[in-house]
A and B are shown apart, each in its own frame.
Chain A
Amino acid sequence: KAGVTQTPRYLIKTRGQQVTLSCSPISGHRSVSWYQQTPGQGLQFLFEYFSETQRNKGNFPGRFSGRQFSNSRSEMNVSTLELGDSALYLCASSRKTQVSSGSVAGANVLTFGAGSRLTVL
């Protein structure tokens, strides 16, 4: 069973540019979440998508956006890049989104991808 696939794995951009990162969830997983990991701030939640709809959003500026396609694949975009956007961007998928409808006994937990490491120069 293939895991969560993120592309590209590494990329270098300059300030002011924009970047698009892609995430393919585990087959059958319909919820995709994005996280930013930096040495200073740790792991921070960006947003979550389910059925092509954004269900939750973290405390990030509007330069950070995302979307989900009908096949559950997701992309996130960062526009007008700043030096502080340098980070490892992690995507995670799970079968369901609503805890109330999830199977507590099941492994409806987040499975993470390897991440896309963005360096902004």
Chain B
Amino acid sequence: AQSVSQHNHHVILSEAASLELGCNYSYGGTVNLFWYVQYPGQHLQLLLKYFSGDPLVKGIKGFEAEFIKSKFSFNLRKPSVQWSDTAEYFCAVNAGDSWGKLQFGAGTQVVVTP
């Protein structure tokens, strides 16, 4: 079955630490990949997306992600986190012919301590 896996459910780290969140998917064909973030009390927001081209994509707020096709992975990174990065992060895959249907990972709750 098609699926999206996020490696960590909870991550706790200190400000200025580096963050890497893993995401793997199990679709065989062409995929569009996304990372969304949900800050406490706020709605889901797009962090970054990959459709094609350069596998290293940059998003908002200093986040970047690398698409590794051979590993079916799309890991999210940030070199130095801030307290305001505390949020839940979701990896999502669009693998069909419709923009509206995304398969989401379970999410990773990230807590950044001052």
Contact surface of A with B, Cβ cutoff 8 Å: 31-33, 35, 42-45, 48, 50, 55-56, 58, 90, 92, 94, 96-100, 102, 104, 108-115
Contacts and interface: CB of A to CB of B under 8 A. Distances in A.
Given A42-B107, A99-B32, A104-B52, A112 B98 contact: no
B49 A109 contact: yes
Nearest to A32: B100
Interface in B60-114: 90, 92, 94, 96-107
Main secondary structure of the interface of A (DSSP, over half): strand
Contacts of B51: 104
B49 A110 contact: no
A96 B90 contact: no
Contacts of B96: 56, 99
Given A31-B99, A97-B100, 14 more contacts: A33-B100, A42-B105, A42-B106, A43-B107, A44-B104, A56-B100, A56-B101, A90-B44, A97-B98, A97-B99, A99-B96, A100-B97, A111-B46, A114-B43
Interface centre among A43, A111, A112 (most CB of B within 10 A): A43
Contact of A92 (B98, B100, B103, B107): B100
Interface centre among B45, B51, B100, B103 (most CB of A within 10 A): B100
A96 B99 contact: yes
B52 A99 contact: no
B44 A48 contact: no
